[in-house]
Structure 1
Amino acid sequence: MIVEIEGKVKYPITLDPTVWIFDDRKIELEQAFKPDLSQENTADELEIASTRFDREVYQEKVKPPVHRTVAKHNRKDLLKKSYVMPILDFLNTAEIESDATRVELVTKNGKESISIDQLKNSFLLFSNEGKPLTEDGPIHLYFKDGSNQKYPIKGITRIILT
């Protein structure tokens, strides 16, 4: 149930979608394609540089934003709703190399090729009605513009930047 981001990145990383349910960056699938959320995440360059500095100099691990406790009423929602995670934060952490041009998505049924911009502007579905995607997972990729909303790329196991 893990997904690797590798290839032309400075820091290859391994993603574990099973723990994203506790991550504050997750978005309800129903809300993901509304205009206000589908706009590109505009991360401040200074903040990215600061995080990179902290990681390299102080060797601190980057921690995702997570509530320390999940209220009981939220637990019920977590077990009923479907959630996506924006991929951009993970790509910023991996630091895509400047000569990377394409992305190869390795799935259980073969490979799909997309542009880096398409990947940056994507959501990863990791929970369907409160359950991990076991049969056709671990993740599905949806473009933020909703163009593949009916037919997402399913069964992604590796993301290779070329």
Structure 2
Amino acid sequence: MEKIILITGQVKFPITLDPGVWIFDDRKIDLTTHFTAKQEQVDELLEYTKSVSKHWDREIMEGSIYPPTLKTEKKFIKEKVLFGTFAIPFKPFLDNAEPNQSANVVVIKSLNEEVEIPLDKAKDLILGFSANGKPVNNGPVHVYFGDGSNQKNPIINVREFLIR
């Protein structure tokens, strides 16, 4: 029971989170480069169009047979997942819980402390769940602020997000 996290309080849908399955989630981000990399807004439609165009060009030039380089690319991705340090944005989970109109604070409850954050800043939180291919120590997640100000000292032993 200590490996799950709850989102409760003034929400339409209370949610139970299991960080053990996030390694398979496409929304995961590489925590080692997230705060140091230059953040830029991505136009999803433009990125999708570029990826489809690239795939189309590849099929025209090489045919629909996968070249041998794809096997090595898959191996690299597999190794990255097995040994990487990953996190996931908190915003999709918060949006799915649908906080009430009167809610304005998120209380992060851990074993040792409670941290209150305004609801609009909580949408930028990042939940670290994997360190070097293993679940984080003092987990199930470490909470990082979106600006990375607590990168060296994240909130650990998180058990619940209470929306007030």
TM range (shorter): 0.7 to 0.9
2:128 is the counterpart of 1:128: no
Identical amino acids, percent of aligned pairs: 42
In the superposition, the TM-score normalised over structure 2's length comes to 0.74
Structure 1 alignment gaps of length 5 or more: 44-70
The alignment partner of 1:154 has SS state of coil
Distance, in Å, in 2 between the alignment partners of 1:35 and 1:143 is: 16
Return the letter of the residue paired with 1:91: L
Q: State the Cα distance separating 1:105 from its structure 2 match.
A: 0.9
Structure 2 alignment gaps of length 5 or more: 45-73
Q: Is this contact kept in 2: 1:32–1:144, CA < 8 A?
A: no
Which of the numbers 108, 111, 117 marks the counterpart of 1:108? 111
1:17-52 per-position Cα deviation (integer Å, ceiling 9, x unaligned): 010000000000023223326x6x999xxxxxxxxx
Alignment map for 1:47-86 (pairs within 5 Å): 71-86=74-89
Return the letter of the residue paired with 2:144: Y
The alignment partner of 1:99 has SS state of coil
Return the letter of the residue paired with 1:93: N
Which of the numbers 28, 31, 46 marks the counterpart of 1:29? 31
Aligned to 1:54: none
Aligned length: 133
Return the letter of the residue paired with 1:156: V
Report which of the two has the higher share of strand.
Answer: 1
Report which of the two has the higher share of helix.
Answer: 2
CA RMSD, 1 decimal: 2.2
Return the letter of the residue paired with 2:23: I
In the superposition, the TM-score normalised over structure 1's length comes to 0.75
Aligned to 2:140: 138
Q: If you compute each CA radius of gyration, which structure gives the higher value, 1 or 2?
A: 2
